[in-house]
C-alpha cells in the first residue's frame, strides 16, 4: 500500500549512540537489539474512525524507536498492518449506510495525512489485511498441519490450551478480558474458553473471501502473526522478530495470542520484545469511543494547532504512562515550543554538543522524553544569556532527527 511521504532524518554521524534500552512488558528493561538488522511490527489501525490522540501517542513512541535505531546504524525493517476488515468497521459502515471499503479507504487516507503532519517516519510497508489473504491462508495451514486447528460448525479455532503456562493473569480474568475484546469464551463446543477464532465463516451477508477453510474471513490475532511472519521472518531467527508493539490494551489477548499462535505454527518464539504505550485520557476520563470523548488529530489540525505542538505535548510525558490530555497541556507545549524556536533563531546559543549527547542518552534510556524536553527548555533559557557557540543549526537538526521535532 502507498505510504505517506518520508520525513527527512538529518544524520548525526559525529555522535555516539549507546545501545537502546526498552521496557519489555514481561521482562522489564532490556537491550533492544540482537543484530545489526532490527525488525519491528506495530499493530496498526482499524480504519473506521480517524486518528485520535491515543493512536498518535502509540505511533509516536514507535517512531522514536525507529528513529533511534536508524540513527544508530541499524538496518530497520518496520512493518505495520491495517485491519481493514473487522466488526467495528462493518458496524460503523452499516450504521451510517456507507460502503465499508469506501469508509476504510477514506479513513486510511486521513490516518496517513495525520501521520505525515506529525512527522512520523512511515513504516517500510503498511500492509492491508484485505491484500494479505494468501499469506494468511498459508499461515493458517501451518497451524492445521501441526494439529492446533479445530473446526466448530463452519468456523476454525486455535487450540491454545497447551500454551497457557505463562498466562499473566488468572484464567477467569483472562476470560473476562477476552470477552470484552470480542472473544466468545462461552461458545458451546470450544475446547478451551480462550481459544481464539482463526477463520470465521461468512454470515449475514458480511464480506467474505474464498479459502481452503471455506468462505469467510480471518480472525484478528492470526492476521497480525501471518503478516508479521510473512514480511519479517528470515526462517532462521528465534525469536522471529525483534519487537512487537502497540497500545497497552493490546497486551492481552492480542499480543499474548499472537505469540502463542506463532509458537504453535512455526515452533519458534515470535518476538524478543513486547513494548506497549500507555493510554491517553481526557480531563480525568479514559478516552474511548464508547464515552464519545475522543480528540482527533485531524480536528486539532483543522483548528490550526501546530502539529509540532501536538508532538511536543505527547512527548512531554513518558510513553508507557497512562496520561491525561487537556487544552492546558497543549498551551504549555505551545509555550515551550515558542521558547525553543526563539533560541534556535539566535545566531549564538549555549553549548550544543553536550546537549545533543544528553538527548541521545535520554532516548537510549527507554525513550525518556520528559527528561529530553526539560533539557531542551533549560538549554533554550540558558541560551538567552550564555551565547557561546554558533551551533543553533546543529541543535535544530538533532532534535528533528531524534525527536521528530522540526522547529
Q: Which residues bind Zn ion (CB under 5 A)?
A: 43, 224
The Cα 81–Cα 253 span in angstroms is 18
**Toward Zn ion, which CB reaches closer, 159 or 225?**
225
The Cα 362–Cα 306 span in angstroms is 25
Q: Give least dist CB 132 to Zn ion, A.
A: 12
Q: Give least dist CB 81 to Zn ion, A.
A: 6
Alpha helices in 148-296 (DSSP H): 171-180, 220-232, 256-266
Q: Give least dist CB 123 to Zn ion, A.
A: 13
**Toward Zn ion, which CB reaches closer, 25 or 394?**
25
3-class DSSP state of 26: coil
**Toward Zn ion, which CB reaches closer, 41 or 325?**
41
Give residues with Cβ within 8 angstroms of 91, minimum separation 6: 48
Report the candidate in 140, 142, 159, 160 with the shortest Cα–Cα distance to residue 216.
140
**Toward Zn ion, which CB reaches closer, 262 or 300?**
262
The Cα 271–Cα 114 span in angstroms is 28
**Toward Zn ion, which CB reaches closer, 43 or 142?**
43
Q: Using CA of residue 335, residue 337, residue 339, residue 341, what is the dihedral sign?
A: negative
Q: How far is CA 393 from CA 10, 12, 85, 265, in A?
A: 11, 12, 46, 51
The Cα 90–Cα 57 span in angstroms is 26
Q: Give least dist CB 196 to Zn ion, A.
A: 12
Give residues with Cβ within 8 angstroms of 304, minimum separation 6: none
Q: Give least dist CB 329 to Zn ion, A.
A: 29
**Toward Zn ion, which CB reaches closer, 244 or 316?**
244
**Toward Zn ion, which CB reaches closer, 58 or 364?**
58
Q: Give least dist CB 181 to Zn ion, A.
A: 12
Largest Cα separation within the chain, whole Å, is 75
Grid cell for residue 341: 524556536
Q: Give least dist CB 32 to Zn ion, A.
A: 19
Amino acid at each position: 500500500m502507498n505510504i505517506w511521504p518520508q520525513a527527512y532524518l538529518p544524520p548525526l554521524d559525529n555522535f555516539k549512540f549507546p545501545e537502546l534500552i526498552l521496557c519489555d512488558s514481561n521482562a522489564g528493561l532490556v537491550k533492544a537489539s540482537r543484530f545489526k538488522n532490527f525488525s519491528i511490527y506495530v499493530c496498526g489501525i482499524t480504519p473506521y474512525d480517524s486518528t485520535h490522540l491515543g493512536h498518535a501517542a502509540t505511533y509516536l513512541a514507535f517512531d522514536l524507536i525507529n528513529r533511534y535505531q536508524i540513527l544508530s546504524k541499524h538496518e530497520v525493517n518496520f512493518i505495520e498492518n491495517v485491519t481493514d476488515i473487522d466488526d467495528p468497521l462493518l458496524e460503523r459502515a452499516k450504521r451510517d449506510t456507507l460502503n465499508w471499503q469506501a469508509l476504510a479507504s477514506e479513513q486510511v487516507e486521513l490516518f496517513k495525512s495525520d501521520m505525515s503532519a506529525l512527522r512520523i517516519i512511515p513504516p517500510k510497508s503498511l500492509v492491508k489485511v484485505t491484500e494479505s489473504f494468501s499469506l494468511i491462508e498459508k499461515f493458517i495451514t501451518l497451524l492445521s498441519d501441526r494439529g492446533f486447528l479445530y473446526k466448530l460448525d463452519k468456523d476454525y479455532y486455535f487450540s491454545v490450551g497447551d500454551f497457557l503456562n505463562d498466562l499473566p493473569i488468572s484464567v477467569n480474568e483472562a476470560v473476562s478480558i477476552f470477552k470484552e475484546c470480542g472473544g466468545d469464551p462461552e461458545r458451546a463446543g470450544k475446547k478451551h474458553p480462550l481459544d481464539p477464532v482463526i477463520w470465521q465463516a461468512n454470515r449475514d451477508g458480511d464480506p467474505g473471501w474464498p479459502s481452503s477453510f471455506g468462505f469467510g474471513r480471518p480472525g484478528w490475532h492470526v492476521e497480525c502473526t501471518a503478516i508479521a511472519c510473512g514480511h519479517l521472518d528470515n526462517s532462521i531467527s528465534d525469536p522471529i522478530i525483534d519487537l512487537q508493539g502497540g497500545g497497552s490494551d493490546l497486551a492481552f489477548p492480542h499480543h499474548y495470542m499472537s505469540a502463542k499462535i506463532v509458537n504453535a505454527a512455526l515452533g519458534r518464539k515470535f518476538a524478543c520484545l513486547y513494548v506497549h504505550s500507555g493510554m491517553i485520557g481526557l480531563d480525568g476520563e479514559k478516552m474511548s469511543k464508547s464515552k464519545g470523548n475522543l480528540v482527533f488529530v485531524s480536528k486539532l489540525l483543522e483548528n490550526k494547532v501546530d502539529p509540532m505542538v501536538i508532538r511536543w505535548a505527547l512527548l512531554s510525558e513518558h510513553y508507557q504512562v497512562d496520561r491525561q490530555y487537556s487544552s492546558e497541556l497543549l498551551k504549555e507545549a505551545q509555550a515551550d515550543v515558542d521558547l525553543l524556536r526563539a533560541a534556535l533563531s539566535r545566531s549564538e546559543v549555549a553549548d550544543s554538543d553536550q546537549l545533543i549527547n544528553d538527548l541521545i542518552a535520554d532516548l537510549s534510556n527507554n525513550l525518556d522524553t520528559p527528561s529530553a524536553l526539560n533539557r531542551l527548555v533549560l538549554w533554550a533559557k540558558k541560551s538567552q544569556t550564555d551565547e557561546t557557540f554558533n551551533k543553533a543549526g546543529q541543535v535544530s537538526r538533532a532534535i528533528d532527527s531524534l525527536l521528530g521535532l522540526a522547529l
